Amino acid sequence: MMTISLVGLTLQVADVERSLSFYKRLPHTSVLFHMPGKFALLHVGNGRLGLLQDQKRPFHVEIDCQDLDATCALLKESGFQTEGPTTRAWGGRDVLVVDPDGNLVEFGQART
């Protein structure tokens, strides 16, 4: 089974409902709290992701996974447009997804 983990992060988004629709499609994700049009809190793996409606700049989220290739396949099956997996110059591998507000979501192979 594929697992992902995010400790916690709040993104500033232009539209909470649009972003909530996007992020709740992530594997192993559930909605913990939702104030329509203002804020949503999701449980992602072992962590939490907050979505706060605001007009700030995009953000970069890093999520570790145990099996990057399986994660990439599952993301594609769930309807996400992905870039990768890519092997970086430093040896790390990742898969990139861009959310509706232009935030970059990077799934990387957990280092052991």
**What are the tens digits of pLDDT across the range 2-16?**
676 655 678 888 899
Q: Which pLDDT belongs to residue 89? A: 73
Spatial CA neighbour of 44 closest among 70, 25, 17, 59: 25
Mean residue pLDDT across the chain = 85
Residue in the structure block whose two tokens are 């709740």: 24
Report the CATH architecture of 4-109: Roll (3.10)
Tens of pLDDT, residues 73-90: 999 999 999 988 988 777
Q: Where are the domains of the chain?
A: 4-109
Contact between 94 and 61 under an 8 Å Cβ cutoff? The reply is: no
Quick one: tokens of 111?
A: 């280092």
| Global pTM value | 0.66
